[in-house]
């Protein structure tokens, strides 16, 4: 009998990090089933994934907040072995303005997925978490043992609560889960066929930079230069999206090999480079990597923004066997290559 490779559900698999992870999963020989409601993505990403990999993923346009529709997919696909859960709303500012939308979408979708997996005996889950769970940290770099501070936004709180829900589910069932706390994913696939494509005005720095550089935005807005940092602007740990995607494959393999043992079947890992860069440093890096001069102005601080945060990545390096490979210059160059390519051949 033919041995079939594992079949993985990827919720939010048409999104930014999801699509890059699907590419790596397909290239690693997995069968992939993408679930996405296309609220912040586009169906044509599917063809681009196939163009990059020469392989196809199954796709269902489904909202995970509808448990009946979700269960129907699992029933149709039968031999699913694990899920990687990306599907969530993710804009910090929007979550401050519309908290109930974030709590409803991000938590009900997770609970539905956990219930369906439990009912079918599917025990492996990789959860897309965030460094926002640390809030404003007392000490840097943050380790996985750093205190979980009060979240500065409803978005951050949904990631904290999401981790708590999963940890409790692991204690009470056969579920094994890994939460990856990403720092700031940036950049795009080397092919420039997929990348970050925000709806409307970008909430994240790098797409705002690239859109300003190409002329889609009049100028870049820097939210505050009066923070307690060397140049007064916020500091973040920026990491290439392809490195983030690779962490999911490493986490999946750890679950498959049943290496997970701590904390009643639930583990968390920081996914970053271990180095912080300020907003001004990122602007300078972009200009050096691309030769483009940016026009920017400083405006007031943005609600929910953390002053400075960057990762201690020792645990993910040693236990997951994963390490970020790409530097800040490569991140900026790939983001710009994607912006240029998408302006010529936009995702429709």
Active site residue 155: yes
Contact 339, 345 (CB under 8 A): no
In the set 30, 60, 134, 155, the catalytic residue is 155
As a whole number of angstroms, the distance between CA 79 and CA 135 comes to 39
Question: Per the structure block, which two tokens stand in for 36?
Answer: 């996405």
**Cis status of the peptide bond prior to 141, with omega within 30 of 0:** yes
Query: DSSP letter string over 187-226?
Result: ---TTSSS----SSS-SSHHHHHHHHHHTSSSSEEEE-S-
126: left (phi over 0), alpha (psi -120 to 50) or beta: beta
Question: Per the structure block, which two tokens stand in for 305?
Answer: 């923004």
Instruction: Report CA 9 to chain centroid distance, whole Å.
Output: 16
Question: Which active-site residues does the annotation give?
Answer: 155
């Amino acid at each position: 009998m033919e041995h079939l490779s594992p079949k993985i559900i990827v919720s939010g698999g048409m999104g930014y990090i999801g699509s890059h992870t699907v590419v790596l999963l397909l290239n690693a020989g997995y069968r992939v089933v993408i679930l996405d409601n296309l609220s912040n993505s586009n169906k044509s990403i599917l063809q681009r994934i196939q163009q990059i990999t020469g392989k196809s993923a199954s796709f269902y346009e489904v909202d995970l907040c509808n448990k009946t529709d979700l269960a129907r997919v699992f029933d149709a696909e039968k031999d699913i072995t694990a899920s990687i859960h990306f599907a969530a709303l993710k804009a910090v500012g929007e979550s401050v303005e519309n908290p109930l939308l974030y709590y409803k979408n991000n938590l009900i979708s997770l609970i539905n997925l956990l219930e369906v997996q439990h009912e079918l005996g599917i025990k492996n889950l990789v959860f897309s978490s965030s460094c926002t769970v640390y809030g404003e940290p007392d000490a840097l770099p943050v380790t996985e043992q750093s205190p979980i501070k009060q979240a500065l936004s409803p978005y951050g709180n949904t990631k904290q609560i999401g981790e708590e829900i999963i940890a409790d589910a692991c204690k009470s069932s056969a579920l094994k889960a890994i939460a990856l706390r990403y720092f700031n994913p940036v950049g795009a696939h080397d092919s420039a066929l997929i990348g970050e494509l925000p709806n409307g005005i970008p909430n994240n720095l790098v797409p705002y930079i690239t859109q300003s550089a190409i002329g889609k935005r009049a100028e870049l807005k820097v939210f505050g230069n009066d923070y307690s940092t060397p140049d007064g602007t916020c500091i973040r740990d920026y990491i290439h999206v392809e490195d983030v995607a690779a962490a999911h494959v490493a986490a999946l393999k750890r679950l498959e090999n049943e290496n997970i043992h701590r904390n009643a079947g639930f583990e968390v890992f920081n996914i970053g480079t271990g180095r912080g860069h300020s907003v001004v440093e990122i602007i300078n890096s972009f200009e050096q990597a691309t030769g483009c001069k940016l026009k920017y102005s400083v405006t007031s601080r943005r609600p929910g923004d953390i002053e400075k945060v960057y990762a201690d990545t020792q645990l993910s390096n040693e236990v997951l066997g994963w390490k970020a490979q790409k530097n800040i210059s490569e991140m900026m160059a790939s983001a710009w290559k994607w912006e240029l390519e998408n302006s010529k051949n936009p995702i429709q």
